[in-house]
Chain A
Amino acid sequence: DVKVTQSSRYLVKRTGEKVFLECVQDMDHENMFWYRQDPGLGLRLIYFSYDVKMKEKGDIPEGYSVSREKKERFSLILESASTNQTSMYLCASTTAGITDTQYFGPGTRLTVL
């Protein structure tokens, strides 16, 4: 089975702190994604990566950056956390194919105080 793991299930940080969210997949997938999920808004794409060291902005990249130094690992960075970044963060991965399906991690619930 494909496994996507995220470094923390719950995280509490203070405003202005630098926050790292780690995601690791074990199926040699090319593509990896970071979403945030908020009530009433569904999932919104922050950034995605289709190869090592490659990244593309999603719909809401402001306030975030990403890093993909190894194929299996995709990190989301909040340079200076703010309260409006309190959310559920979901990582996903997929192969690059015609009908690829996305496999999601369990999510990290981040609270910024």
Chain B
Amino acid sequence: DAKTTQPPSMDCAEGRAANLPCNHSTISGNEYVYWYRQIHSQGPQYIIHGLKNNETNEMASLIITEDRKSSTLILPHATLRDTAVYYCIVRAIQTGANNLFFGTGTRLTVIP
């Protein structure tokens, strides 16, 4: 699975958009981009995933560059409850169980 690079920490003002970048320059054509987050003392929570096209759901938007070497997770109106560590993961779909490789992620702090 391709490695990802994320900034270790970011701050965002409450109510503003949080834009979390991720570099995955060695991504392969069959690898998806996944985003998870982990709020303190809880298990990781799935947010969104995509292959080529931009994706949006009730939690966030995912913007993937045309060359797929980087992506941005957007939380449109950050709240204090969005304070968490955000993980960007790229992986290919394989037969059998598909484990995830979590790096160290970006610690997002939403400031009142």
Residues of B near A35 (CB, < 8 A) are 102
CA of A91 to CA of B45, assembled, Å: 12
Known contacts A99-B32, A99-B49, A101-B34; decide if A92 and B96 are in contact (CB<8 Å): no
Give 1 or 0 for each of A39-57: 1 = CB within 8 Å of chain B CB.
0111101001110000010
Q: How many residues on A have C-beta within 8 angstroms of the other chain's C-beta atoms?
A: 31
Q: Which of B43, B93, B97, B103 contacts A49 (CB 8 A)?
A: B97
Known contacts A45-B99, A49-B97, A56-B97; decide if A103 and B46 are in contact (CB<8 Å): yes
Q: Which chain B residues (20-78) contact chain A, with CB distance < 8 Å?
A: 32, 34, 36, 41-46, 49
CA of A31 to CA of B32, assembled, Å: 19
Known contacts A33-B97, A49-B97, A98-B93; decide if A42 and B43 are in contact (CB<8 Å): no
Known contacts A98-B93, A99-B32; decide if A48 and B99 are in contact (CB<8 Å): yes
Residues of A near B32 (CB, < 8 A) are 99
Q: Which of A42, A50, A98 contacts B105 (CB 8 A)?
A: A42
CA of A47 to CA of B87, assembled, Å: 21
Prevailing SS type, chain B contact patch: loop
Contact A101 B43 (CB under 8 A): no
Give 1 or 0 for each of A6-47: 1 = CB within 8 Å of chain B CB.
000000000000000000000000110101010011110100
CA of A44 to CA of B31, assembled, Å: 20
Known contacts A90-B43, A107-B43; decide if A40 and B97 are in contact (CB<8 Å): no
